[in-house]
Structure 1
Amino acid sequence: ACKRLQGRIVDSVFALRSSPITTHVLNTGDGVPAARMALSLHRLDPRMAIWNLITIGKTDEDGRCPGLITSDAFTPGLYKVRFETGQYWESLGQSSFYPYVEVCRN
């Protein structure tokens, strides 16, 4: 399986090993991974105080999205992952209190 990552195709197994930012999303209500949840990775530009989109993706069948960013492309700073939880629950025929969830990390 391959994924498009910043204009390049990378093997997802390699990406899982080398990505400094990883995700694992679980649907604890049903006791399963949150498969096919849309998400996006952003990096804060401290000079402009704006978030720059790095990549978008979807979780795989295990609730993971390997290869969000390569080690080579990673630079220290503030990152956020935005999980499209509202779309996910809607796709399952359920409503969601949160339209999205953002998680930030240094």
Structure 2
Amino acid sequence: MSSLSTHVLDTVSGRPAPGIRVVLTQGDARLAEGITDADGRFRGFPALSAGAYVLTFHVGDYFRGLGTPLADPPFLDVVPIHFGAGDQGHYHVPLLVSPFAFSTYRGS
């Protein structure tokens, strides 16, 4: 089994992004759902078996909550990250996000 963590950083402010809804799915199964904490982290993920997963970040709601002017519909509203996990190891999937761009990588 593998473990998973995430960390969301708001690249506009240069700070962690609290209050972002995060959903982990595998196929049609919803495995975890929650909100990032004051440090921009969500820690409620289950152990992962080998397979394909999707982490979905609801960033449009976050930027709306900050009063950031967004188009209707916003350029980025929901950011899905598709990734694969092996049988063992730790997968840290950070998200760096603004209203117009995002990036991710496998962290440590």
Give the TM-score normalised by structure 2.
0.68
Higher helix content, 1 or 2: 1
Distance 1:65 1:57 in 2: 7
Residue in 2 aligned with 1:75? 49
Pick from 46, 58, 65 the counterpart of residue 42 of structure 2. Answer: 65
Residue in 1 aligned with 2:65? 91
Q: Deviations over 1:54-104 (max 9, x none)?
A: 1210101011101311x3xx2211011100011111111112421110011
Residue in 2 aligned with 1:43? 26
Are residue 24 (structure 1) and residue 1 (structure 2) matched? Answer: no
Higher strand content, 1 or 2: 2
Q: Is the 8 A contact 2:24 2:56 kept in 1?
A: yes
Gaps of 5+ in 1: 1-18, 45-50
Distance 1:97 1:22 in 2: 26
The 3-state SS of whatever aligns with 1:22 is: strand
- Alpha-carbon RMSD: 1.7
Distance 1:23 1:32 in 2: 15
- Runs of 4+, deviation exceeding 2 Å: none
Q: Is the 8 A contact 2:20 2:58 kept in 1?
A: yes
CA apart distance, 1:41: 0.5
Distance 1:68 1:90 in 2: 26
**Percent identity, aligned pairs only?**
33
